[in-house]
Amino acid sequence: MREGFDNDKYIELQAERIRERVDQFGGKLYLEFGGKLFDDYHASRVLPGFKPDTKISMLQSMKDDVEIVIAINANDIERSKVRGDLGITYDEDVLRLMDIFRSMGFKVGSVVITRYANQPDADLFRKRLTAMGITSYLHYPIPGYPNDIDYIVSDEGFGKNEYIETERPIVVVTAPGPGSGKMATCLSQLYHEHKRGITAGYAKYETFPIWNLPLSHPVNIAYEAATADLDDDNIIDPFHLEAYGETTVNYNRDVEIFPVLRATMERISGECPYQSPTDMGVNMAGLAISDDEACREAGNNEIVRRYFQTAEEIKRTGVGEEALKKIELLMNQANITQNLSPARSAALLKEEMTGGPAGAMVLPDGRVVTGKTGNLLGAASALLMNALKGVSGVDDELYVISDDVLEPICHLKTEHLKSHNPRLHSDETLLALSISSVHNPLAAELIDNADKLRGCDAYFSVIISAADEKLYKTLGINVCCEPKYEQHRFYHK
């Protein structure tokens, strides 16, 4: 896999940029963090070389100056909103985030419950936080937000919110997901700091879109594909163009809110230091791209992945047609098709030849290996085994797991666990491989080389099981599936 991003340079540039903003505002900065602080796999896919935990690593380089405030919307607590990628509620994720941040040595100052209006579940959550020794604050709905500036910047607006006690010069405001009130929390704090005679500033750290890449760059198009269901659009920042005569890229919601944000900051402190949404940001990712062609290729691959993920979601749930249409337009804009990856044509050809579900994977050296459905292994398991053989230099015809190991597991599944499918899922296949490694050094070699599959693209001719998809994701393999099921039935798992 060709790298196109200098991770070390990015960490250095980004930390320097944030410190510049702290100095600009007299020693205190409220930094709204958009996107994921860690496990940012989208960024690592479209910027090959970007490590999933790069942003948190960057903050660790200045952690003695950083404290973290986590915002959660009371309405999200009340309706038990769930993070789709983790399957846990937002309030549980707040606790998860606190554990992770603290384990990394960060000071997690507090939790702020935004848009609080006496929601019973929000009250219970606050009591739970108190019982754990976690400080929490309440911020309230503000009538007319964000347009009624006179009311917002008053004792009845921001002034009604509880002032969050902070100690360090960089206050990172993050959240379990969008709509949690991060920007309003930052602006509320600026209001309270100003009333106390404390100089403080605000900046936003959003990785995508990358402001100094063209609108038509595949990395920026991939961001639109990733947020197709949110109706986000990349646009030229008109405020930046007018102020500086420079073309930069931002996204529609930040451009739409900027006049209100500027007016709010002017009302709070007498002036706004920013001429545009681009000014407001501190993202330096575009300056750390070391191989533009590698990033363009990675961006195009991500657009196609998002297409198949959305098509699969429609097949599973019946929802997402508009998002799929948008991604189709983005693919036309990028001049790419669903057949961009050679894995797709290889998987479909294998299915046609064998009459059963099949898969294919592009290995790091560009070779394409396939896997078919057999008596003991499903397509995902067979492909995984063949891919491991491929990166280990083991002959594809060699049987690394003997039938003596596979058959008892299949028997257990069908006879004792009452499964209708005797074939092993990929996680079960890895366990069988691990058992075989006790006496077979080739099996041990395959396991040792599993990490070489990280970042590889796999494609299946049917929608694979949740267990197989989870295992592939754990191994860092990117999965796409043809939006169809192996069997025609109403319930699939």
Predicted confidence band at 65 (pLDDT cuts at 50, 70, 90)?
Answer: very high
pLDDT of 421 over the 80 cut? no
Q: Is residue 298 part of a domain?
A: no
pLDDT of 198 over the 70 cut? yes
Mean pLDDT of 417-424: 77
Do residues 247 and 354 both lie within one domain? no
Do residues 216 and 357 both lie within one domain? no
Residue 170, pLDDT score: 97
Quick one: 319 exposed, middle or buried, by C-beta within 10 A (0-12, 13-18, 19+)?
A: exposed
Do residues 163 and 79 both lie within one domain? yes
Residue 280, pLDDT score: 94
CATH at residue 380 = 3.40.140.40
Do residues 276 and 402 both lie within one domain? no
Average pLDDT score, the chain = 93
Predicted confidence band at 488 (pLDDT cuts at 50, 70, 90)?
Answer: low
Predicted confidence band at 493 (pLDDT cuts at 50, 70, 90)?
Answer: low
Do residues 249 and 397 both lie within one domain? no
Residue 151, pLDDT score: 94
Q: Distance (Å, rounded) from C-alpha 119 to C-alpha 121?
A: 6
Residue 179, pLDDT score: 87
Do residues 279 and 402 both lie within one domain? no
Mean pLDDT of 146-154: 92
Which residues lie below 8 Å from residue 175, measured CB to CB, with a gap of 6+? 70, 71, 72, 181, 182
Do residues 87 and 204 both lie within one domain? yes
pLDDT of 422 over the 80 cut? no
Domain boundary among 288, 315, 332: 288
> Which residue did the predictor score with more confidence, 174 or 489?
174
- CA distances, 291 to each of 2, 148, 183, 456 (Å): 9, 46, 34, 19
Residue 492, pLDDT score: 53
Q: Is residue 322 part of a domain?
A: no
Which residues lie below 8 Å from residue 181, measured CB to CB, with a gap of 6+? 71, 73, 112, 114, 115, 139, 175
Domain boundary among 268, 288, 308: 288
Residue 415, pLDDT score: 81
In this structure, are residues 442 and 394 in contact, taking their beta carbons and an 8 Å threshold? yes
Mean pLDDT of 407-435: 83
Do residues 236 and 121 both lie within one domain? yes
Residue 40, pLDDT score: 87
Q: What angle do CA 439, 442, 444 make, to 5 degrees?
A: 70
- CA distances, 457 to each of 195, 291, 410 (Å): 54, 20, 28
Residue 230, pLDDT score: 81
Predicted confidence band at 392 (pLDDT cuts at 50, 70, 90)?
Answer: very high
How many structural domains is the chain composed of?
A: 2
Do residues 42 and 124 both lie within one domain? yes
What pLDDT digit, counting tens, does each position of 2-56 carry?
899 999 999 999 999 999 999 999 999 999 998 788 788 899 999 999 998 999 9
Do residues 97 and 168 both lie within one domain? yes
Angle between helices 466-474 and 426-436 (to 10 degrees): 60
* Of 73-82, 142-151, 392-401, 406-415, the least confident: 406-415
Q: Is residue 473 part of a domain?
A: yes
Q: Distance (Å, rounded) from C-alpha 320 to C-alpha 318?
A: 7
Q: Distance (Å, rounded) from C-alpha 58 to C-alpha 487?
A: 47
Q: Is residue 305 part of a domain?
A: no
Predicted confidence band at 90 (pLDDT cuts at 50, 70, 90)?
Answer: very high
What pLDDT digit, counting tens, does each position of 292-340 carry?
999 999 999 999 999 999 999 999 889 999 999 999 999 999 999 999 9
Report the chain's terminal Cα–Cα distance, integer Å: 33
pLDDT of 490 over the 70 cut? no
Residue 489, pLDDT score: 60
Query: Within 10 A of 431 (CB to CB), how many other CB atoms are there?
Result: 14
Residue 348, pLDDT score: 97
Query: Residue 373: which domain range?
Result: 346-481
**Upstream peptide bond of 364 is cis (omega within 30 degrees of 0):** no
Q: Is residue 340 part of a domain?
A: no
pLDDT of 487 over the 90 cut? no
Domain boundary among 273, 288, 303: 288
Q: Is residue 128 part of a domain?
A: yes
Residue 399, pLDDT score: 85
CATH at residue 235 = 3.10.630.10
Do residues 238 and 104 both lie within one domain? yes
Residue 159, pLDDT score: 95
Query: Within 10 A of 395 (CB to CB), how many other CB atoms are there?
Result: 8
Residue 38, pLDDT score: 79
Mean pLDDT of 369-386: 94
Do residues 137 and 203 both lie within one domain? yes
Q: Is residue 80 part of a domain?
A: yes
Report the percent of the chain where pLDDT is more than 70.
98
The label of the residue with tokens 């509620």 reads 89
Predicted confidence band at 460 (pLDDT cuts at 50, 70, 90)?
Answer: very high
What pLDDT digit, counting tens, does each position of 252-284 carry?
989 999 998 899 999 998 899 999 999 999 999
Q: Is residue 296 part of a domain?
A: no
Query: Within 10 A of 103 (CB to CB), how many other CB atoms are there?
Result: 8
